[in-house]
Amino acid sequence: GAVVSQHPSRVICKSGTSVKIECRSLDFQATTMFWYRQFPKQSLMLMATSNEGSKATYEQGVEKDKFLINHASLTLSTLTVTSAHPEDSSFYICSASGVENTGELFFGEGSRLTVL
């Protein structure tokens, strides 16, 4: 299957700082990537859909100015959590669909953010 790599896998930061998470498709071109967030013992919640070369589409309740998404190339999407606060602590996971467009998504390894 297609490989999606996410970095960093774990980050701890102070409140008020910004954190950037990268998501790369390693062996295929991903015109669309998805960013999910998962709080402990809860399901994955879609935050936004990232389209290469255009603005991301955010789900209801997700602040676009707080969660900046950039998808500048067909293999890289970034999520920046700006002015992070403890309530932003979560598991952030990116995903991308394969070239066969079967509906299957391939996930990155996830990034665990802890804001102190």
Partner 1 sequence: RKEVEQDPGPFNVPEGATVAFNCTYSNSASQSFFWYRQDCRKEPKLLMSVYSSGNEDGRFTAQLNRASQYISLLIRDSKLSDSATYLCAANNAGNMLTFGGGTRLMVKP
Binding-residue pattern over the window 10 to 49 for partner 1, x denoting contact by CB under 8 A: ----------------------x-x-x-----xxx-x--x
Extract the runs of DSSP E, i.e. beta strands, from the chain: 4-7, 10-13, 19-25, 32-38, 45-51, 57-58, 67-73, 76-81, 90-97, 105-107, 111-115
**Binding range to partner 1, per CB under 8 A, among 17-25, 63-71, 78-86, 98-106:** 98-106
**Binding range to partner 1, per CB under 8 A, among 11-19, 21-29, 60-68, 87-95:** 87-95
Closest CA to 11 of 20, 2, 3: 20
Residues that bind partner 1 (CB under 8 A): 1, 6, 32, 34, 36, 42-44, 46, 49, 91, 93, 95, 97, 101-110, 112
